[in-house]
Amino acid sequence: MTPLLARRLLFVTGKGGVGKTTVAAALGLLAAEQGKRTLVCEVEPKGDLSVAYECGPTPFQGRQVSPGLTAMSMDTEASLREYLKLIARVPVVGRIGPVASAFDFVATAAPGIREILTIGKLCYEVRERHYDLVVVDASATGQVVGQLAAPIGINELVKVGIVRTQTGWMLDILRNPEITGAVIVTTPEEMPVSEAVDLSARIAEETPVKLASVIANRVLPELFGTREEEIFESMAAPPVTKALAEELDVDVDALTSVFSAARLAVTIRRDGAAHLERLRAGIAESVPLLYLPYLFGRAHGARAIRQVARLLGEEL
Amino acid sequence: MSPTRQRAKAGTGAGTAAGTDASGGQNPRREEGLSAAMSSPTALELEQLVAAKEVMVACGPGGVGKTTTAAALAATIAARIGGRVLVLTVDPAKRLADALGIKGIGNEATRVPTEAFERAGIRPKGELHAAMLDMSESWDALVRRHAPNKSTADQIISNPLYQNISRRFSQGHDYIAMERLFELHEDGDYDLLVVDTPPSRNAIDLLDAPARMQEFFSSRLLRWLTVPYRSRFVNMASRPFYQVADRILGSQLLQDLADFFILLQTMREGFVARADAVGRLLRDPRTTFLVVTTLEAVPGREASEMKAALAERHLHLGLLVCNRVLPSLLIDPAAARAADRLAESAASIGERLAPELTAAGEAVAPEVVGRVVEEVAHSFSNFRLVANREAELLRELSAAHDVSVTVPYQPGHVTDLAGLLRMGAGIWQDEPDGESPDTRAPGRARPSASRSRRT
């Protein structure tokens, strides 16, 4: 399989709240640090990317975050405007206001119009080689399949017209696994793993894009091996704890709390490990599964992104 | 728990009981040790809230356990307070659907049998019903209601554009959930409706869904688009749009769109009136919103925005539920000191304890014991950091709230009604009945409630 960052277009998706933006931002940063001209684009312009990089607004035109790293937010109206100007060469740009809002309206109703403008813009950046790598903080599970499949779907609906003739080259980019890949982010929890497994199947069946990697985020470290756990349990036995508390000159209840906390950590970890096994079993064997540890410290913002980028670099 | 039998007066649920105090538990600035005494006020507050409200809308960021929380609340209300309670879920995990006994898909409500409660060791006072929201079925029903006749309805439903809107338009999902809620409320078959809300790009969208639906039907744009496309009298305003759109999209799509919008127009009056009524129900004093969140940074930020959005729209916030909160023992200063002492003395503890211990029947080296001690101490300080961050976020979030509850982290997941009732017991703040120790967060992982009034 092509190394993840050797591709040109990566769609990072997963259930809401699993750290999609963090992973996308970190992948982008890592690529830029490796000397690639990198664009990171958030598809839902909620400003998450600007929070991740702590860099101020990320407009459609792009904002340079660090050398070689540009961040942008998708804006389908702006994408339409650019499209009209660059590709369709339609001379209405000056009076696009009402046209754009009417278009917005149509795009809401007609399947794939908004999606094709999103995908089209991203593929365009790849085709024009403005960047070596485009990392997309894509939509969550619910919408990403529709987005990735838009160039296929649009052909069913639009029989003639410029949009139709444009889908061919987009599909060439999307179908090539050496150029394009999807990355599913998940956490070791029930619903995120179930969604990740479903999504990997749907991406394979319904979209032109191939799954490049699955990233399990917020994985807790293993506290003890089996032998160590046995030692721990002996220590946590009430008489031993009591003696230990006296020896350390601390309250026995307080020490019991510390042991309880360790037991909780073991339980959470074990719970997650079961989900990770389900994840591994649920995705194709050829797809690499990467692990990112749970960050006990600050889990968001530029510092956390740097940390995740470093960890990702080690995993890759 | 012994449920308080006092009948709550109609009101906002911010009743008379608890005053402005709060339990210790999660909040380190408050006094410790009130947990047992505090369990009844929360139960009372919840009972008063339920007595005053007919509709509870659970909203908040995705991935925080909203669906499960809504189901747990509904089940616990049915069990402890009584009445006919319906929980309307949008996209339940299979195990949750199983736990509620919802079979297959469809809008039909099913009653959770009393025996299921009895198996969980509870004799319910009321009835629990559960229904799943089937998006396309609900849309179809809506079209059939508002279309002038059956053939128009059929035409709309078979239109490919309609298929797209009704299945993929996520803002439409928001609306349909609220619309279905309205319908159930109108039918008046239930004393309380607890509704889970669809995962949407932005939880706040939900609140504005009825207004947006009205806008959609009232807008000039819709009128433009419904000018028959091939008409020679395409008006001046829409002409440039069609010229551009024609080149880009091709005329067939535009024809389809125009046809579709003309059909939609026939439902305009019904839709607008209905959306207005749905909006009124959300603002009705009998409706309350529950904000469900975890105490992590990103969901916390969304929950805080949700709170502000509710206030801005004069919608009632009944309860803030903070889910999967780490136990308060982690922020106990005495425990922190014990962990520090462990870390300092790891080596000497290893030396002393190693001769006493065996693992897998063999003697253990002092270094191994020392490492276990270090790991325990280190893990404690890691989790303590997270628990402290949660406590701080809780303080920031719940400052302006009437009632907030924290539900402790529970390993494993809810697989049956008993699990839902256990979670409900967490919300109600009493020790869950019949819980085996190994499924419980260790120590006195009590949920805590806080009440604060802002003047």
Cβ contact, residue pair A228, B371, below 8 Å: yes
Q: How many CB atoms lie under 10 A from the CB of residue A227?
A: 15
pLDDT for residue B4 is more than 60:
no
Residue A247 counted as domain residue: no
Q: Do B245 and A103 touch (CB under 8 A)?
A: yes
Q: What is the mean pLDDT of chain A?
A: 88
Among residues 81-100 of chain A, which lie with CB inside 8 Å of chain B? 84, 88, 90, 92, 95, 98-99
A127 within some domain: yes
Amino acid letter for position B33:
G
Q: How far is A2 from chain B (nearest CA, A)?
A: 32
Residue A139 lies in a domain: yes
Phi, psi angle pair for B420, to nearest 5° = -65, -40
Per-residue pLDDT at B206 exceeds 90: no
CB of A48 closer than 8 Å to CB of A297: no
Q: Is residue A231 part of a domain?
A: no
Q: Half-sphere exposure of B29 toward its Cβ, with a 13 Å CA cutoff?
A: 7
Q: State the ipTM, two decimals.
A: 0.87
Please give the CATH superfamily to which domain B12-135+284-327+390-439 belongs: P-loop containing nucleotide triphosphate hydrolases (3.40.50.300)
pTM here is 0.81
Element (H, E) at A261: helix A252-282
Which chain B residues are closer than 8 Å to A92 by Cβ?
240, 243-244
CATH of the domain at A86: 3.40.50.300
* Main-chain phi, psi angles of A262, to 5 degrees: -65, -40
A34 versus B165: the higher-pLDDT residue is A34
A146 chain-B contacts, CB cut-off 8 A:
168
| pLDDT average, residue stretch B17-39 | 36
Q: Say how far apart CA B369 and CA A260 lie, in whole Å.
A: 18
How far B450 CA lies from chain A's nearest CA (Å)? Answer: 23
pLDDT over threshold 70, residue B446: no
Chain A environment of B327 (Cβ under 8 Å): 260-261, 264
CB pairs under 8 A between A and B: 234
A17 and B61 within 8 Å at the Cβ level: the answer is yes
A244 three-class SS: helix
Contact B249 A158 (CB under 8 A): yes
Please indicate, yes or no, if residue A245 is contained in any of the structural domains.
no
pLDDT value of residue B285? 95
pLDDT band with cut points at 50, 70 and 90 for residue B171:
low
| Cα–Cα nearest to A234, from B355, B199, B72, B182 | B355
* Lowest-confidence region among A146-150, B27-31, B46-50, B150-154: B27-31
Closest-CA distance of chain B to residue A124, Å: 17
Residue type, position A45, single letter: P
Interface touch B386/A194, C-beta < 8 Å: no
Residue A174, classed as helix, strand or coil, is helix
Q: Which of B37-41, B278-282, B287-291 comes out lowest in average pLDDT?
A: B37-41
Residue A34 banded pLDDT, cuts 50, 70, 90: very high
| CA A235 – CA A247 distance, rounded (Å) | 13
Chain B contact set for A74 (CB, 8 A): none
DSSP classification of residue A43: S
- Residues B279 and B273: their CA atoms lie apart, in Å, by 10
CA dist B158 and B160 (Å) reads 6
Instruction: Give chain A's domain count.
Output: 1
Contact residues on chain A for B373, CB-CB shorter than 8 A: 235
- Report residue B209 CA to chain centroid gap: 17
- The CA distance from B62 to the nearest CA of chain A, in Å, is 6
Residue ranges covered by each domain of chain B: 12-135+284-327+390-439, 331-389
3-class DSSP assignment, residue A70: strand
Tell me if residue A12 falls in helix, strand or coil: strand
Mutate to test the interface with B, among A258, A267, A300, A303 (most CBs of B within 10 A): A258
Provide the 3-class DSSP secondary structure of residue A205. helix
**Contacts with A250 from chain B: Cβ below 8 Å:** 334, 337-338, 341
Q: What does each C-alpha distance from A218 to A17, A25, A270, B71 come to in angstroms?
A: 11, 16, 13, 27
Query: What is the SS3 string spanning chain B?
Result: CCCCCCCCCCCCCCCCCCCCCECCCCCCCCCCCCHHHHHHHHHHHHHHHHHHCCEEEEECCCCCCHHHHHHHHHHHHHHHHCCEEEEEECCCCHHHHHHHCCCCCCCCCEEECHHHHHHCCCCCCCEEEEEECCHHHHHHHHHHHHCCCHHHHHHHHHCHHHHHHHHHCHHHHHHHHHHHHHHHHHHCCCCEEEEECCCCCCCCHHHHHHHHHHHHHHCHHHHHHHCCCCCCCCCCCCHHHHHHHHHHHCHHHHHHHHHHHHHHHCCHHHHHHHHHHHHHHHHCCCEEEEEEEECCHHHHHHHHHHHHHHHHCCCCEEEEEEEEECCHHHHCHHHHHHHHHHHHCHHHHHHHHHHHCEECCEECCHHHHHHHHHHHHHHHHHHHHHHHHHHHHHHHHHCCCCCEEEEECCCCCCCCHHHHHHHHHHHHCCCCCCCCHHHCCCCCCCCCEECCCCC
For residue A94, the distance in angstroms to the closest alpha carbon of chain B comes to 12
Beta strand extents in A157-310 (DSSP E only) = 180-186, 211-219, 289-293
- Closest residue by Cα to residue B161 from A78, A161, A105: A105
Flag whether A243 is in a domain.
no
What's the pLDDT band for B257 if we cut at 50, 70, 90? confident
> Which H or E run contains A135?
strand A133-137
Best of A264, A271, A303 to disrupt the B interface by mutation (most B CBs within 10 Å)?
A: A264
Q: What is the distance of C-alpha A97 from the center of its chain? A: 33
pLDDT tens by residue, A97-115: 555 556 666 666 666 777 8
CB-CB under 8 Å, B250 with A258: no
Q: Residue B25 pLDDT > 50, yes or no?
A: no
Within the 149-168 window of chain A, which residues sit less than 8 Å (CB to CB) from chain B?
157-164
Asked if A262's CB is within 8 angstroms of B296's CB, the reply is: no
Q: Is A102 within 8 Å of B221 when comparing Cβ atoms?
A: yes
Q: Does the residue A228 lie in any domain? A: no
Residue A70 lies in a domain: yes
Closest B-chain CA to A266: B379
Convert the pLDDT of each residue in B146-169 to its tens digit.
888 999 999 888 887 787 666 656
Its domain, for residue A286, covers 4-222+277-315
- Would you call B373 and A235 a contact, using CB atoms and an 8 Å cutoff? yes
Query: Nearest-CA distance from A104 to chain B in Å?
Result: 10
Q: Strand B55-59 and strand B127-132: pairing?
A: unpaired
Q: Rounded mean pLDDT of chain B?
A: 77
